[in-house]
Each structure stands twice: as structure tokens, then as C-alpha cells.
Amino acid sequence: MSVKVQICRRLKDLTRDDLEKLTKTELVDKVIQLQSYNRQLKNILHKKLNESDNGDVIKLTESGELSKDSGTEGIETTEPNQEKSSSRKFDFSKTFKRHVLLKFLYFGWDYQGFACQEDSNNTIEFHLFKALTRTCLIESRSLANYHRCGRTDKKVSAFCQVISIDLRSKFPEKQQFEESCLEKEIDYCGIMNRVLPKNIRCISWMPIRNHLFSARFDCITRTYRYFFPKGNLNITAMQDACKLLQRHTDFRNLCKMDVHNGVTNYVRHIEAADVRLCPHENESKNKGYAMHYLEIKANAFLWHQIRCIMTVLLLIGQGKEEPSVINELLNVEKNPCKPQYTPAMGFPLNLYHCEFRDKSEQKAMNESQQEIRDLRDLTKWLHNENNLRRLIEILQGEWSQAQIKATMIRSTLYDLEQLLEQEFNAIDVNFQTSLLQDDVKSKSYQKLMNRKRCESLNNRIEHFVKKQRLTVPKQKDSVEEQELSMP
């Protein structure tokens, strides 16, 4: 049973009446908390020095405030007395809106993750909203009824990232689903792709009948793929281990716990997990260079869950662990504390596919219209031939560049391997997967279950309660409190 917790509000959220009710000790704690928060903000601001989207230089004054000096490179400047050119602001009050799903692909190895961040503009979401506002498809994020399907981490890619959002439309709501109107609707993907970076592309869009349909809450399954070379791995042993993941279970030992954000439930449902050879590969010909992938499907995933699973699978494939170690890690009653290990690298991971329910669990906005209430919320994905051709052209260029580099390296490896065999009669050297394990290499391997353990979930909750980051609500049935007091 998971402990129910609440995240404590920071000082800035408290009203004057709330502050007057606090004791002196509580006020001192709040001041200390606020000072710590200010130090974090200053560190963020220092990272932003000399960075700006418009070429501005950001300076931190002695008082701790931000000031901007405009750079001159690539920026048009005007004299103080010179009149600025007045640009007409787009009038959204004269436009219509429609609710849609947008499907994107992106290669995330050059970005700091999908979601917007306080200390970096180098995120996928930042570029999406920059494109949406620049093309006047939305007025602002706060008014866009926006939800994302998945929140990928730093360097993680997506072949099927989906967002739900309200976009500008040419037609009123009653006409939006007519076939002729769909054909003449704004080319959402086309105009966005003109302003998006080339490694972020909009593939297609889908008109949605229910304006409350959510790409996050109405997504029923998410499928990820993690690509890796075979190297010296025992693929059969890794496949046997995958079968042990397919159950309702607690994955606290196969993820990075973020208790400080209020997450205390680590039960997830893995519907399918398997290791497969990539369709275009020939294992007998390429040997250790043949590319495989882990495909894993679930209703939702925890922070670094797949990367932690991949770490254990790599150890199993190398023969350092038995497949049964999965059962040991999933037995949280026997092993409540996670062994210390490092998650696998993030760049081979991608969000491969998403599935949505036909009818949203959110209450439809058009309940009064029987014909809409009886229809599916989902329609069909709409593609544009020119956009798809352009997308394929761009990706083929990316592939050519990467493949030329890979072939040059592979050719050099072939010559070196032949030389090693001729001169020293040595066997194959297969260390292709060593890059994926960003861990300290020790001379003697220590089994996972014999390693030093991290703190248990209950201890972490207790720690953040003492730090006043979390609170545990008092209940008549004190089962949660009893769990919290366990050592």
C-alpha cells in the first residue's frame, strides 16, 4: 500500500493571514526555506548569463535583479527619436478554434528533454510553442487547452509523441467535421514544419470531437523502444528476463524514485516486453554489430524505469546476472531497498507508439447534442503528401550523414579486427554495448543483490516530511502512518 502524501506549498503561496497564524519557529523555518530557494534561483540565473534567444545579454545586478543589454549582431536597432514600426497584432477574437491531436517525431539527443524548463530553452516543448505562437495557431499556452502524451527525458527521442491542443481554425464548430472543410483546413503540419528545427517534425493531425479529450489522461498505452548492438550479449537470456516483467507489480527498485514530487505509488502494468532483432539486420552476417531493440509496452512509466530495466537486462545478457534477479528486484517485501546501480544511457531510447481510448473519460462539452455524444471522440489521422515527402527527404539526409560516419568507422574496425586475428590469432572483440553502461568499471563484478542499498521508500518519505517538503495527512485509519513508522 502506498503512503498518501501532500507537497508542502512554498512561502510565496501563503497569504498574510496564513503567515500570522504561524509560530516563531515555523516562521524561522519558512525564512530558511526561502533563502535556500533564492540560492537555487541565483544559480539558475548565473547559468543564463550571456544567453538570450534574441541575442540579448542577461546581467545579474547587485540587487539580484535581471537586466538585459541588447546585442548588435543580427539585430536591427532604432534611435530613441525614431518611430518603431507598428506591427498589427493578430486578432484571435475573430477566429474559430478546434480541438486536435498533433503527432510529432523528434531526435532528442541534442535537447534537454521534452518539457519546458526554468534554466534552459533547449527543450522540445519550447520549440513547439515558439512555432505555434509564431504561426498564430494559438494565442498563448495558458489558453490552448494543452496536454502532452509523454514527458521524455534528456537525449530521449520520440517517433510518436502526441499532444492535444486547441488550434485556430478556418471554420465554425458545426462545419469542422465536414469532409470539404477538412480538406480546406489550415495545413497545421506544413506551416509548423517551416519554422521548427529540422530534427523536430509534425507528422499528422487528428480532429477531435470532445474538447476535453486529453493526450495524457486518455492515452491507454505507451510503447518505448531501446536500440542497442548485440555485442557479446546473450539475447535469449534477456528475452527470458523480459517475461518476468509482464505483471502488475511494484517497480520501485527498477526506477529513480522522485518522492520529493509526491510520487509514492510505484505500481505499473507492463503489458508486453521483448528483445528483438531490427527488421533490416542480418545477425549471422553482422555478428556483434547486429542491432536489436527492447520493446516495452505499459499504461504508464516511472522516472528512468526503462533505463533501469535496460541496465539489468544488459547485466543479464553479459552473464553477470541470472534472469531470476528480476524476481528478486520486484519482490519489494523481501528487498525494500534498491541496490545501487546507474541507469543505462538515454539517447538510444524513444517513445515509439501511443494508443488512445475511443471515448474520453472526461465529460463531453457537447452533452446536449445526442449525435455528438454517440460518436467516437477519435476520428482519423490526416496526412499531407507533400509534407510526408519533405519529411522523408530530410530524414534520408540525416540517415546518409550518420550512415557514412558509421560505415567509415565500421570499415576501420574491420581492418583492425583482421589485423588482430592475423597477428595474434585472437578471438572476436565485442564491446559494442560498453557505451550504454555509464557506470564505474571495477576489476571484479559485484552482484546486484550484494551491493550497497539505497534508502527505502518509507525512509525517503520520512526524510522529506522532516524537511517540510511533504506532509502526511492524518486519517482515522492509520495504516499509512504505521507504514511510515516502520524502520
CB distance 106 to 127 below 8 Å: no
Q: In this predicted model, what pLDDT tens digit does every residue of 415-435 receive, in sequence order?
A: 998 899 888 887 778 888 888
Asked if pLDDT for residue 239 goes beyond 80, the answer is: yes
- Exactly one of 153, 166, 218, 377 is catalytic; name it: 153
Q: Is 128 inside any structural domain?
A: yes
- Please compute the mean of the pLDDT values over residues 286-296 and round it to a whole number: 90
CB distance 192 to 203 below 8 Å: no
481/42 Cα distance (integer angstroms): 37
Q: How many CB atoms lie within 10 A of CB 406?
A: 12
Q: Is 114 inside any structural domain?
A: yes
372/369 Cα distance (integer angstroms): 6
Task: Please tell me the number of Cα atoms within 13 Å of 381 on its side-chain side.
Answer: 15
- Please compute the mean of the pLDDT values over residues 4-23 and round it to a whole number: 69
Question: Which among 238-242, 457-461, 476-480 has the top mean pLDDT?
Answer: 238-242
Q: Is 366 inside any structural domain?
A: no
Provide CB contacts within 8 A for 419, sequence distance 6+: none
Q: Is 205 inside any structural domain?
A: yes
Cell of 310: 535496460
Q: Is 18 inside any structural domain?
A: no
CB distance 37 to 44 below 8 Å: no
Given pLDDT bands bounded at 50, 70 and 90, which one contains residue 120? confident
Name all contacts of 8-11 with Cβ < 8 Å and 24+ positions apart.
8/468, 8/469, 8/470, 8/471, 10/34, 10/37, 11/37
Q: What is the pTM of this model?
A: 0.81
Q: CATH number, domain at 191?
A: 3.30.70.580
Q: Is 257 inside any structural domain?
A: no
Give the DSSP letter of residue 117.
B
Annotated catalytic residue 218: no
What is the extent of the structural domain holding 177?
96-217
Q: Is 210 inside any structural domain?
A: yes
Question: What's residue 372's pLDDT?
Answer: 59
Q: Is 174 inside any structural domain?
A: yes
Q: Count of domains in the chain?
A: 1
Given pLDDT bands bounded at 50, 70 and 90, which one contains residue 22? confident
CB distance 166 to 99 below 8 Å: yes
- Please compute the mean of the pLDDT values over residues 279-298 and round it to a whole number: 86
Asked if pLDDT for residue 43 goes beyond 80, the answer is: no
Question: What's residue 25's pLDDT?
Answer: 80
Strands 470-471, 6-7: parallel, antiparallel or unpaired by DSSP?
Answer: antiparallel
